[in-house]
Structure 1
Amino acid sequence: METLERAVPLHRLDVPAPQQLPFAIGSFDSIGALSRASFPHRHTFYEIVFVTGGRGAHVIDLSRWELRPPHLCFVVPGQVHYWENATGLQGRVVLFTEDFLVDHPGDRDLLRTLGERPWFSPAGEDAPAFARLIGEMEREHRAGQAGFASVLRSYLHVLIVRASRLAGPAPAPADPAGRPALVTQEFLRLLARPDPEVWEVRSCARRIGVSVGYLNEAVKQTTGRTPGQLVRQVRTHEAKRLLVRTDLTVRQVAAEVGFADPAYFCRFFRRETGISPGAFRRGSGAMHHDYRVPSLAHPQSPS
């Protein structure tokens, strides 16, 4: 697994946060060649693709999906995907980072579930409904009028919820080989809860009823990331949300995300984001202005 991770390029959105909005939308042409890349690669961000035309196939985590548009596709951070013999691709690509879910943190859990069954073929009225919704998102993003970031977050929330309804409940694996996926699913559900008491690997393992070692193996096997990495991501995201959306002091934010020592929280936040909590809050005012973001950037070497 680690050898595969080193071999597969990792791409990110080149967002000099917090000065620019971690979101992009457009056609395959306007987003760029990497949006239809024919080589296996991964992202640090989410990608939603609405395909309205084209031939070929899309491969996601070794599952091959033939193109018979329209299709709605979800790729979550860490998934390996690429386009195979794809020609004439038409549609829209939506890219955003974890930070863009600040208004609807529960969408993270829905997106993880969608990532498990990432390919949908909307039928009947569903296809034009998704097309209209994504079209409104693109128009709002292009216009860039006052408050457009909040509108985009609302449109994205509606898109995710409607897609999750289309997906329906995920079936539970019946064989023992499916147990790592079930354990990982429960671990991610725990992380999605706004409760810092469960944002600790040992606590999650105890609640799920497995050893810390097994939890590490299951989560790494299923997601390609360790439980510790995912816990740090959740804590960092929640801290960012509180710094941007509340008037809590840094000490209070630290307590809200499970840090008794504010100084240690500040070191943690700087290590994860490259900036102090105070500096992040001072710069976060730019998020309320109309900054748009470049699209896909260069590959980033996995650490």
Structure 2
Amino acid sequence: MEFTSNKKLAEEQLLKVSRMKPVIKPTKPHKHAGYHELIFLFQGAGHHTIGDETFEVHPPTGFYLGPGQVHCWDFSKIPDGFVILFKEEVLSLYPKAQNYLFNFPKHFDIVDKGDFFKMLEEFYREFKAGENLDILAAFLNLLVLKGFEYSTQSKQTDPKVANDFSLFKSLLNEHFIELKSAEDYAKLMGISVKKLNKTCQSAVNATAKELIKERVLMEAKNLLTHTNNNVSEIAHLLNFTDSSNFVKFFKSSTTLTPMDYRSRANTQ
């Protein structure tokens, strides 16, 4: 069965904040590729299916979807709340929040409805007003940290998976320039490639190869957005053999050339 892929975040867009649509029409199973999604509801009732698990909606509540996860809604009462779509690189200055993402359970309860949703309201207003990305990223960091605080109450992550994945992410952040294969990281960790892939799939529903590619792409986007380096210089910094290979890599991942991406990012 092929699932519809709903692309609600443009390639050059790193973050989007919106209100939950006030409708109760059931949605078909679909996935959102290439970005994370946090949903916070303070009204509504019904069911939310993520992968092969179905959760009852009892606000105030939160849901987390990793890149590529399949889900659908079946509301019996009109929902209200906020949906935050974001790419991991928006949290590049907040490594603790980045590392928390894979530890979020799919569903968790929210305790202090009032203060937390006031912060969400402010975040939404700042986004709609066109606040700069640095401010919005700081807001997101706070929400991820606070949301994770709530999620630990219902989190059931296998400690071994969490530890192995945390080690992999740490090694990846340290060595992604020179090491670009799953075999390299499995060797550093003293485990098989099969076990590394199983760990990554359990943590974030992706293979090690996909995460390595994602990390290189994240750095490429950061360099294109936040530096004046030309394409050849960026290709060299990321250890590509030449700029043409870098352009092919970038375009295959984003459908944009590096310069097209830079141009669009600079108009945001």
Kindly state the Cα deviation for residue 286 of structure 1 after the two structures are TM-superposed.
Answer: 0.9
Counterpart contact for 1:55–1:87, Cα < 8 Å:
yes
Give me the TM-score of the superposition, normalised by structure 2: 0.82
Where in structure 2 are the equivalents of 1:24-173 lying within 5 Å?
A: 24-29=16-21, 37-44=26-33, 45-98=35-88, 100-101=90-91, 103-104=93-94, 107-114=97-104, 117-123=105-111, 126-144=112-130, 147-168=131-152, 173=158
Q: Which consecutive residues of structure 1, in runs of 5 or more, have no partner in the other structure?
A: 1-5, 288-303
Kindly state the Cα deviation for residue 200 of structure 1 after the two structures are TM-superposed.
Answer: 2.8
What SS class does the counterpart of residue 229 from structure 1 fall into? Answer: helix
Counterpart contact for 1:235–1:257, Cα < 8 Å:
yes
Where in structure 2 are the equivalents of 1:121-270 lying within 5 Å?
A: 121-123=109-111, 126-144=112-130, 147-168=131-152, 173=158, 183-184=164-165, 186-193=167-174, 195-220=176-201, 223-270=204-251
Alignment-mate amino acid for residue 140 of structure 1 = E
- The 1:55/1:270 distance shift into structure 2, 3 A limit, reads closer
Q: Deviation per CA, 1:218-251, whole angstroms, max 9, x where unpaired?
A: 5456654332222111111111111111233434
Q: Deviation per CA, 1:123-153, whole angstroms, max 9, x where unpaired?
A: 2xx3222201110011112222xx4333222
Segment of structure 1 superposing worse, 86-95 or 211-220: 211-220
Q: How many residues align?
A: 266
Counterpart contact for 1:109–1:189, Cα < 8 Å:
no
Could you say which residue in structure 2 is the equivalent of 1:295?
Answer: none
Kindly state the Cα deviation for residue 183 of structure 1 after the two structures are TM-superposed.
Answer: 4.7
Report the Cα distance in structure 2 between the residues aligned to 1:55 and 1:274, rounded to whole angstroms.
Answer: 39
C-alpha RMSD over aligned residues: 3.1
- The 1:104/1:180 distance shift into structure 2, 3 A limit, reads closer
- The 1:281/1:106 distance shift into structure 2, 3 A limit, reads farther
Report the Cα distance in structure 2 between the residues aligned to 1:94 and 1:252, rounded to whole angstroms.
Answer: 34
Structure 1 vs Structure 2: percent identity of aligned residues?
25
What SS class does the counterpart of residue 103 from structure 2 fall into? Answer: helix
Alignment-mate amino acid for residue 158 of structure 2 = P
Structure scoring higher RCO (CA < 8 A, sep ≥ 6) equals 1
